[in-house]
Amino acid sequence: MSVTSVEGFVAAGITAGIKPSGAPDMSVVATADGTPVAAAGVFTSNKMTAAPVVVTRSHLERSGGLAVAVILNSGNANAATGQQGLADAERMCELSAESLGCDSDHVLVCSTGLIGFELPMDVIAAGIPRVVAARRAAGGGEAARAMMTTDTVPKEVTIDGGGFTVGGIAKGAAMLEPNMATMLAVLTTDAAAEPAELQGILRAAVATSFNRLTVDGAESTNDTVLLLANGLAGPVPDDALAAAIADACGDLALQMADDAEGSTKTVLLRVTGAASDAEAAKAARDCANCQLVKCSWFGEDPYWGRIASEFGAAGVAFDPERITIAYGGHVVYAEGRPQQPDAGAIGAYMRQRRLHLNVDLGLGDGRAEIVTVDLSHGYIDENSRTS
C-alpha cells in the first residue's frame, strides 16, 4: 500500500507502452480530492540535469511548494534531450493537469530509464489520461511496480508515526552514489507541515539514507526524492515527523541496496577513528567504490589487503600500524599485521547477504557510515547489453 496507506492519497501504475517489454511503465501519485498540498523535493547534483528535474524544480518554485500529483514514467529518462526534452516534460505535466483538473504547476514529473533518447510523446500522451483515471486508494503497489527499470522487486515502505503515517515508493538499482543517482522516491504523509519545514526534513532524511548509499560511484541525471504532506492528521511534533521520514528513506535505501543490479552482498561499512568525519566519509566512499574490494565481497573473501590498501590510498591521515579491519566481530587485520580469525566462523559470516565491515583508523573521532554492494557478473550483464 505504501504511499496510499496514507489517508487522502491515491495512486496507480499502468503499461503505457514505453518499454518494448510490455512491463508497466507509467505511475501517478496524487491527492485524493485534487487539492494542492505541501510538497518538497531533493534532486541530483549532476550538471547534466535531466529535463524532468529542471521542470519539477521550477514547478515547486512557482507554486511555492504545493503539489497535487507526481507523474512518473520508466523506460526513458528524458535526459540529454535538450530543448525538446524540456518541452516534453512540461507537456507531461500539462496533460496530467488536464486529466486531474488542476494547475500544471501543481504537477511534478519524474522519468527514469535510458539517457539520450527523446520521449515517445504519442505513447505518453495516450497513457497519461489512462493512468490518472486508474488512480485509487489501493494503488500504491502498482505505482511502485511501474517505476521499476532494472529493479527485480518493487520498493515500498509504510511507517506508523503514532498519530500520523508516512508512506513511500522508490526505484533504483544502479548508479546509486552518496549524492544519489538514478533513484526515484515519492513519499506521502498525512502530517501537517509547511513546505519550508518539509524541505528541511526531507533534505536531512536524504543525507542519512539515500546519500549514504553507493552502488557503483556513478551519479544519475534524474535522481529525485519528493514528499507530499496533506495535513489530514493535523500537526505533529517536528522531530517525530523528521524521524518517520528518515526511517522511511532509510528503509527504502536498504531495499535498493538489496536489489542493486546483480548484487549478491549488501555491505554496511562503518569507518571510525578517522582524523575527521570528512576524512572518514572520503575513505569509506573510496573503499566502497573500489572494484577490487567489491570483487572480494562477491568471492566471499575477507581479504584485508585490498581494504587496507584502499584506505592507504584515500588521501586521508593513515597509519598502517593503527588500522583495525573487522567483518562483524571477526578481526582480520590489526596492529600492523593480518589476524587469523577462526576460518569456519568467518567463512560462515561472509556467506551472509548482509555484511558489516568495520574499519577503525585509530587516529581520531571521525566516523562515517555507508551502504554499498559487491560487483558481480550480473552487474556486467545488466550494463553491457546494447542500450
Q: CB nearer to its own copies: give 225 or 248.
A: 225
Question: What number of chain residues touch its own copies (CB under 8 A)?
Answer: 66
Q: CB nearer to its own copies: give 30 or 308.
A: 308
> Any catalytic annotation for residue 182?
yes
Q: CB nearer to its own copies: give 63 or 214.
A: 214
CB of 66 to its own copies, least distance (A): 29
Torsion angles phi and psi, residue 89, rounded to 5:
-65, -40
Q: CB nearer to its own copies: give 33 or 319.
A: 319
CB of 70 to its own copies, least distance (A): 23
321 binds its own copies (CB under 8 A): yes
Among candidates 146, 112, 148, 89, which has minimal Cα distance to 221?
112
Long-range contacts of 217-220 (CB under 8 A, 24+ apart): 217/177, 217/285, 217/289, 218/174, 218/175, 218/177, 218/181, 219/44, 219/45, 219/46, 219/175, 219/177, 219/179, 219/180, 219/181, 220/44, 220/46, 220/175, 220/177, 220/180, 220/181, 220/182, 220/183
CA distance linking residue 258 with residue 82, whole number of Å: 34
Among candidates 147, 212, 132, 215, which has minimal Cα distance to 176?
215
47 binds its own copies (CB under 8 A): yes
Set 182, 189, 324, 372: catalytic member: 182
345 binds its own copies (CB under 8 A): no
76 binds its own copies (CB under 8 A): no
Among 33, 34, 48, 348, the residue binding its own copies under the rule CB under 8 A is 48
110 binds its own copies (CB under 8 A): no
Q: Near its own copies by CB under 8 A, which window of 10-18, 46-54, 59-67, 235-243?
A: 46-54
Among candidates 46, 3, 30, which has minimal Cα distance to 183?
46
CB of 242 to its own copies, least distance (A): 28
Amino acid at 310: E
Q: CB nearer to its own copies: give 12 or 316.
A: 316
Contact 159, 247 (CB under 8 A): yes
Q: What is the CA radius of gyration of the chain?
A: 22
Q: Which helix (H) or strand (E) holds 241?
A: helix 238-258
CB of 144 to its own copies, least distance (A): 24
- DSSP for 336-372, written as a single string: TEE----HHHHHHHHTSSEEEEEEE-SSSSEEEEEEE
Q: Cα–Cα distances in Å, from 205 out to 19, 164, 174, 228?
A: 32, 17, 20, 14
Contact 1, 158 (CB under 8 A): yes
Q: What is the largest CA-CA distance in the chain?
A: 68
Q: Near its own copies by CB under 8 A, which window of 32-40, 64-72, 111-119, 248-256?
A: 111-119
Among 35, 45, 152, 208, the residue binding its own copies under the rule CB under 8 A is 45
Long-range contacts of 59-62 (CB under 8 A, 24+ apart): 59/93, 59/104, 59/105, 59/106, 59/107, 59/108, 60/108, 62/105
275 binds its own copies (CB under 8 A): no
Q: CB nearer to its own copies: give 1 or 117.
A: 117
387 binds its own copies (CB under 8 A): yes
83 binds its own copies (CB under 8 A): yes
What does the per-residue mask of binding to its own copies show for 127-166, with x meaning CB under 8 A? ----------------------------------------
377 binds its own copies (CB under 8 A): yes
305 binds its own copies (CB under 8 A): yes
Q: What residues act catalytically?
A: 182
| Site residues, its own copies (CB under 8 A) | 45-49, 77, 79-84, 114-117, 174-175, 177, 179, 181, 216-221, 289-292, 295-296, 298-299, 301, 303-306, 308-313, 318-321, 333, 335-338, 375-377, 379-380, 382-387
